[in-house]
């Protein structure tokens, strides 16, 4: 298979960096885009040892900037094969602790950032007649996930948008997948509520995650799952196995899923006290 042209937003760290590395390992040409341009440049420099990679400064909340980057990659390479709308932030806390700033910032990055990526990539891929859009959501977009309502809300929205677009795009040659990982061992767990008022859950996000999922999944393992899912054209890429089990359980018994989520809330309140 010839090298594919890919863009990964949020590529300077965590899941984005792992996906970019997995793409480069198989010879794909990757643009590593991130608001942390210095971090993106470091990642791109390392990836360039395996395959062509470049860094781009990108704030996904800026729709014009997203559109300009996607167009420029298409113009430079003549096509755009893969787009990973991955950039996101972690927000945690009891709902009564949340301010509108928590809600608005989460919606701006985690939802509008993905919308901007879809809005920029989809017309390009329609014109080409092919391409694959991959949006990063979360297991929190498939199951009741308390103590992070703004985050959970945006991830449910990303799942719904991705599945609806997949149905619309299928006859036009464009594929759409959505990534729904459980808790992954990334810097997001150590940087919850970035630039926002602190909360008890946010300060202890890693500890809270490990209460729900004792063994955090590695970003590199998730990246392998993602590339396999793309090759199979999976609609939903859910990992790890414990996440798939939770998803199946929530589908079979939403009432039980809510009850289990409530137990997690009580456990975290005891730990916080």
Q: Which residues are within 8 A (CB) of 178 and not within 5 positions of it... i.e. 6 or more apart?
A: 134, 135, 136, 137, 141, 158, 159, 162, 163, 235, 236, 237
151 counts as catalytic: yes
Burial-class residue 231 by CB neighbours within 10 Å (0-12, 13-18, 19+). Answer: exposed
CA distances in angstroms from 243 to 173, 180, 182, listed in the order given: 30, 8, 5
Position 271 scores a pLDDT of: 59
Alpha carbon distance 8, 217 (integer Å): 20
CATH class of 5-272: alpha beta
Position 17 scores a pLDDT of: 98
Give ∠ CA 208-214-219 in degrees, rounded to 5: 90
Beta bridge partners of 83: 7, 133
DSSP summary character for residue 107: I
Per annotation, catalytic residue among 70, 122, 151, 217: 151
Position 272 scores a pLDDT of: 55
Element (H, E) at 15: helix 14-25
Position 132 scores a pLDDT of: 98
* Average confidence (pLDDT) per 10 residues, the chain, 273 residues: 92 98 98 98 97 98 98 98 97 94 98 98 98 98 95 98 98 98 90 87 78 86 98 98 95 94 80 52
Position 172 scores a pLDDT of: 97
Distance of CA 149 to the CA centre of its chain: 17
Position 1 scores a pLDDT of: 53
Q: Encoding tokens for residue 110?
A: 């985690």
CA distances in angstroms from 263 to 58, 142, 212, 268, listed in the order given: 39, 18, 10, 9
């Amino acid at each position: 298979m010839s090298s594919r042209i890919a863009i990964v937003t949020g590529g300077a760290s965590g899941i984005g960096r792992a996906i970019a590395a997995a793409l480069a390992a198989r010879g794909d040409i990757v643009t590593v885009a991130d608001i942390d341009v210095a971090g993106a440049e470091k990642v791109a420099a390392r990836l360039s040892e395996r395959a062509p990679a470049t860094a781009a400064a990108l704030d996904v909340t800026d729709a014009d900037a997203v559109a300009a980057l996607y167009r420029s990659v298409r113009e430079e390479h003549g096509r755009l094969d893969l787009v990973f709308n991955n950039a996101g932030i972690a927000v945690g806390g009891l709902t009564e602790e949340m301010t509108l700033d928590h809600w608005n910032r989460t919606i701006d990055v985690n939802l509008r950032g993905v919308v901007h990526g879809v809005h920029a990539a989809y017309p390009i891929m329609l014109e080409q007649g092919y391409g694959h859009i991959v949006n990063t959501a979360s297991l929190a977009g498939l199951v009741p996930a308390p103590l992070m309502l703004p985050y959970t809300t945006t991830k449910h929205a990303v799942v719904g948008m991705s599945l609806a677009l997949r149905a619309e795009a299928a006859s036009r040659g464009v594929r759409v997948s959505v990534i729904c990982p459980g808790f992954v061992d990334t810097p997001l767990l150590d940087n919850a509520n970035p630039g926002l008022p602190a909360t008890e859950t946010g300060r202890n996000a890693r500890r809270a995650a490990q209460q729900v999922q004792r063994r955090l999944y590695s970003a590199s393992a998730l990246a392998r799952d993602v590339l396999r899912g793309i090759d199979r054209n999976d609609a939903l890429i859910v990992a790890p196995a414990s996440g798939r089990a939770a998803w199946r359980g929530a589908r079979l018994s939403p009432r039980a899923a809510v009850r289990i989520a409530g137990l997690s809330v009580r456990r975290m309140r005891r730990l916080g006290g």
